[in-house]
């Protein structure tokens, strides 16, 4: 499970990250609000741990921007102890949980496990993604359009899932590489182009009106052809 922790207290953030890594989490750190927002918008994280008090951009505004851009990643908000107003504002802005500072690492681990279980259950119950005239089954990797269907490879399914969840927002090649192969990969951009091409062929085979548009210099976006196109 990949986590993003946005916390400006570097010593504390690095200490927490070390413990999380020992518990088999992959952790990326951001030390200010602007960097945290950029990382969060990539859509590659399973859970975000987000402090409210940050330089350059506070946690509440980061959270609002993430939700406005269709990022549904679960967020644990770090609040000052006793600040009820911050907790209420955070939950109203789309936070999934909150933790008062200073906190015990065991409590953070328990909350991460709870959010992880909740996310897994959600995927099991809602394992069908729809966009336009297509339906993607995340469990069987089946792509359906009307009475026609095709089976995707895992990478094709992950790519289409990413495009669907971004819901009309351009996804860069870098973001696709990070989501499908991870930060430390040596995968090159031509690998993204190969999978985009394969996915386009399968959409065409299904006679779907959904298509992947290339935005030169920016990335790719999923769209639906209008009548007459």
* Tens digits of residue pLDDT in 61-101: 999 999 888 788 899 998 876 667 777 777 777 888 888 88
| pLDDT, tens digit, 9 for 90 and up, residues 20-46 | 999 988 899 999 999 999 889 887 788
Predicted pLDDT at 159 = 92
CA separation for the pair 165, 38 (Å, rounded) = 17
173-181 and 154-166 helices cross at what angle (nearest 10)? 130
Which domains can be identified in the chain, with CATH numbers?
Answer: 2-124 (3.40.50.2300), 128-224 (1.10.10.10)
CA separation for the pair 145, 206 (Å, rounded) = 6
C-alpha distance from residue 81 to each of 64, 98, 106, 109 (Å)? 22, 11, 17, 18
Q: Spell out, as residue ranges, where the chain has pLDDT lower than 70.
A: 81-83, 119-126, 183-184, 227-229
Look at residue 30 and give its three-state secondary structure: strand
Predicted pLDDT at 138 = 84
Predicted pLDDT at 228 = 40
Which residues on neighbouring strands pair with residue 211, listed in sequence order?
Answer: 223
Predicted pLDDT at 63 = 92
* CA 69 to chain CA mean position, Å: 11
Q: What is the pTM of this model?
A: 0.61
């Amino acid at each position: 499970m990949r986590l993003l922790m946005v916390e400006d207290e570097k010593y504390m953030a690095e200490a927490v990250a070390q413990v999380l890594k020992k518990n088999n989490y992959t952790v990326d750190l951001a030390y200010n609000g602007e960097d945290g927002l950029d990382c969060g918008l990539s859509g590659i994280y399973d859970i975000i741990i987000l402090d409210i008090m940050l330089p350059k951009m506070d946690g509440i505004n980061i959270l609002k921007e993430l939700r406005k851009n269709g990022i549904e990643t679960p967020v644990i908000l770090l609040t000052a102890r006793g600040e009820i107003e911050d907790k209420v504002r955070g939950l109203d802005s789309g936070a999934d949980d909150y933790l008062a500072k200073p906190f015990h690492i065991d409590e953070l681990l328990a909350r991460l496990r709870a959010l992880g279980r909740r996310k897994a259950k959600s995927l099991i119950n809602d394992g069908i993604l729809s966009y336009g005239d297509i339906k993607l089954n995340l469990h069987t990797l089946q792509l359906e359009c009307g009475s026609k269907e095709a089976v995707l490879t895992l990478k094709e399914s992950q790519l289409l899932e990413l495009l669907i969840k971004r819901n009309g927002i351009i996804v860069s090649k870098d973001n696709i590489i990070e989501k499908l192969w991870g930060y430390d990969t040596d995968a090159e951009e031509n690998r993204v182009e190969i999978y985009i091409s394969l996915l386009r062929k399968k959409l065409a085979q299904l006679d779907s009106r959904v298509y992947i548009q290339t935005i030169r210099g920016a990335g790719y976006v999923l769209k639906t052809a209008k009548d007459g196109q």
